[in-house]
Each structure stands twice: as C-alpha cells, then as structure tokens.
Structure 1
Amino acid sequence: MKLFYTLFLFTFMCFSANAQEATKKKSEQLLDVTFGFGSGQSTISFGYFKSWDLGKKQGFYIGTGVRLSNAFGKNQVFTSAPASLAANSANKDSLFSSAASTYAFNILLNLGYHISPKLDLGFNIDLIGASFGPSRIKLFSGNGTLDVTTAEPTSMNVLLVGNNDRGTLNSEFYLRYKVYKKIGVKLAYQHFFTELTTIEKVQTVPVQNDRFRNITNLFSVGLAYHF
C-alpha cells in the first residue's frame, strides 16, 4: 500500500503545479461498473465520477465521486486489523471465513492523465464511507486455541494510511479506452481492504481486539459511460 500513497503524493504535486497555470478547466462525468477477480474473492463495483482537466494542455485530471463496492469471498483469512497489532506478525490473531459478503459505499479521489483523446491512465482510492452486510459465523484462532464467533462488516470506512486504515476500502490503477464517443472499456489492478468486526473482543493478547482485515489484489475489467 505504501506504493499507492507514494504515487498519489507525487501525482498530486504534479497536478497542483499544473493547476496554477490552468487557463480553462474542462470537466467530465461518467458512470462506471467494474468486475474484479482474485484469489478467494470477487468484486463488483458501481461508481459515479466527476473530474476536471488541469494545465494549459489539460493532460492531467483530478476528480471525485462515489462508489458502491461489493465483495464476495470464500475460505478467507482475516488477521488483526489495528495498526498496533498488524505491524507485528507475532501479535496477529485470525478469523477464518468460509463465506463473506461486504457492501461498502464510499467517497473517492480520482487522479489521472489523458495519454490521448481516447486513452486514460489513472488511479482512484476510497476516502471515507460506510459498510454493511450480513453477520456470519467465523472460526477464531488465537493464543493457541480455536473458538467460534460471529462477525459482520466494520460499519465505518476511513482512509488513514496503511495499517491505520479502517473498514472496507477499494483502490485501483486503471487504463481506460474510449471505444465509442460515450462508451469506454477499462482494465485495472484492484487493491481491496475488507474488514470484519466480531460481536465481542475475541483477541485478548497482547491487547483486546475485535477488528480483523483481509487484503486482496484483483485483476479487474469494467465499462464506463461518459456524459
């Protein structure tokens, strides 16, 4: 995830420099549907994006939007999510999930560059929002013991950098090609955080904890409608 933030900061500085020289800003809106395929997990997301071109040549763009991301997993392992535990593998306990469904609605940041009038290279990341989904029985492993508990998606999502992140967050690098005037196709690499909260603090050592996270990388394809 550090690579995402490094590229984000570099790109943001480039956009800021171009914005100071901008004489005219062109805006664009689009609707997007994306399907992701990864090990033990698949996703489908629906998004609305609005972006503004920057600089004299208007090659760069920056924007925002909202996205509903749906994640469906099988036989996944979720490990201790709080930063104080996640930073040290010796402090991690785990939840095993035979099936999980998580739905996250988030506000996002979208950055990119127009390689040509038809081809865009971009990056987007969820910033803040909420998650929901069904409660399911999970198998907890910690302190040399196994136990059964119930967990559901962590309700609040917020980007706080690396292990400090909370909840379910979606981000992607993408290439989007406009095949028709208003229709585009997309190839993307998706980095997906999914987080569950147990009904009780099942982890007790070295501290009490009820939050567990799974991180999945997925290959994604999508369609976009420009308007």
Structure 2
Amino acid sequence: MKQLIRVLLLSAFPLFTFAQSPVAARLSSGYDLGMAYSKNNYNPSATYYQLINIGERRRFSLGWTARLGAFYGDNINYYTAPARLTRGKTGFNALSGPVIVNNIDTVRYDYMSMTSLNIGIRAQVNLGRVELGVSADLLGLSFGKSRMGRYQSSDGQFRLKSSTGADSTTSYFRGASTFQKSRPSVMNLRLLGDNDLGTLSTEVYARVRISQRIGIKLGYQWLTTETTVSNRDIVADNNRFRNRADMAYLAVTIPIFY
C-alpha cells in the first residue's frame, strides 16, 4: 500500500510542478458553445481553446483551438473549387480584346449537411472584461451523408460505365444525368484562398466576461464547406465544389481557468 501511494505521489508531482510553473500561470482555456447563422445556413459548434498570455500585463494571447462543428444549408449552391479552374485562363474577345475566362460549374442542393472536426489557431487582445480576437481552422476532417445535387455545366462530361463494367461511354451532365450524388470532402486543409481544401472556418469576435464562470461572445464567421461529386468531370478534370457563407455568431464561453 505504501508503495502504491509513493507511485501515485511521484506520478502527480510533474502535474503539480506544471500547475505551479510560470507557463501554467499564464495559460487560459475554456469552451465556446455557439451558433453561427445566416439565411438558410446554420452552424452550431463547440470549441475548446487554450491560450498563453504574453507579457507582464497579459495584454495579448496566442494559442490553439479544437473545433467540432455541424453545418446545415437549404437551397444552396456549390461552385467549382480548384484554384487552377477558378483563376481562369486568358481568352480573346473581338470587341474588348484579351479577357479572363473562368471554368465555373455549379451543383445545387435542396439540403446539405456535414460535420467537421478541425484544429486551428487563435490570437486575442485582452482589454479587461472585454476580449477581442480572431480564430482560424488549419486542418481536420469532415464527414456526412451523401446527397443528390443538380449539376449545372455547359460542356462538362463524365464516364458512364456499362452494366457489365467492361466498357464505358461519355455523357453530358444533362437530362437525368443532371442529378449527381456527392458527399462532404473528407480532408480539411488551409492553403490560403482557393487553394484551401474542405471545410474551414475563420472568425473575428468580441467576448465580454460576465464573471469568472461565464462569458458572452459575439462574432462574425466566414465558413467554407466543400463537397465531392461521385462522377468526375473529365473535361475540367474536377469533382470538388465549394460554398462560402458569411454568418453572425453568438456563443457562451465557459472558462476552465484564466
């Protein structure tokens, strides 16, 4: 029994030492439980954050976040995602001369939903009971049910396999082939701009600390979600489509420690 107590004490000693260390004294962490909303778009989320307060006055904080979010969208359009297609290419108009021609297709869903889990970064300015900050997802995973979308493309084609699977022909996204099955893109990775992959959130916020146990957070969120269509467009060599939604955000913050 004495040996067991000794082992437990030795195991707890590093944790006790960390709790008393200067680094731990400058840590703040907690949970944001909130909802982002715009017309036909909803994004409830739960975020854990951990920040290190910088300087003697602890005016600035930097840290990381883990964010679990669910997105729901009604009557929503997704557009061609890859940067090599959205940046466009140079064409020529007889009247105006050189023009930029984009190869943008659309997939429209009556309803779309997906869940994502992302790791991100956060920076914050501490002004007493008021805190101002910005947060951005960096990488993670998304998952959700397959949905049917209406594919709109002027010249897109896909390979249509025979019933035996031995050979295939090409078909346009027209008629019955307009309806295409898709799913949320699995990989989330921030590569900046149209190079981004998957579902990623960026937000700016102001938090008011009501007490040591609770705070109210108001913000604005930019959420990018992405779907992958089962049949790849062989003309554009693409099956990724993206939607960007701007939403107001309201959350309750539950601090663990300041």
Is residue 137 of structure 2 the alignment partner of residue 126 of structure 1?
Answer: yes
Q: Is the 8 A contact 1:53 1:61 kept in 2?
A: yes
What is the CA–CA distance in structure 2 between the aligned matches of 1:181 and 1:58, rounded to whole Å? 17
Separation (CA, whole Å) in 1 of partners of 2:143 and 2:28: 30
* Aligned AA (2:200): L
Stretch moving more, 159-168 or 25-34? 25-34
For the aligned residues, what is the CA RMSD?
Answer: 1.4
In structure 2, which of residues 170, 185, 205 is the aligned counterpart of residue 154 of structure 1?
185
The SS at the match of 2:237 is coil
1:222 counterpart = 2:251: yes
The secondary structure found in structure 2 opposite 1:139 is strand
**1:212 and 2:241 are equivalent in the alignment:** yes
Query: Structure 1: 5+ residue runs without aligned partners?
Result: 1-22
Cα offset for 1:39? 2.7
Deviation at 1:55, TM superposition (A): 2.1
Matches within 5 A, 1:97-176: 97-116=109-128, 118-143=129-154, 146=174, 147-176=178-207
Per-residue CA deviation, residues 61-83 of structure 1 (Å, 9 max, x unaligned), is 00102100111000010000111
Question: Identity across aligned pairs (percent)?
Answer: 28
- What number of residue pairs does the alignment pair up? 202
| Higher Rg of the two aligned structures | 2
- Any residues of structure 2 matched to 1:68-83 within 5 Å, and which? 68-83=68-83
Deviation at 1:40, TM superposition (A): 2.2
TM-score, with length taken from structure 1:
0.85
How far apart, in 2, do the equivalents of 1:139 and 1:168 lie? Answer: 21
Structure 2: which amino acid aligns with 1:95? V
Contact 1:39 1:216 in 2 (8 A): no
Partner deviation per Cα, 1:71-129 (whole Å, 9 max, x = no partner): 1000010000111112236211010010000101000101110022x110000000000
Structure 1 contact 69–170 (Cα < 8 Å) conserved = no
What is the distance in 1 between the residues matched to 2:41 and 2:86?
21
In structure 1, the partner of 2:223 is: 192
Q: Would you say the 8 A contact 1:176–1:186 is kept in 2? A: yes
List runs of 5+ in structure 2 lacking aligned partners: 1-21, 89-100, 156-172
Kept in 2: contact 1:27–1:52 (CA 8 A): yes
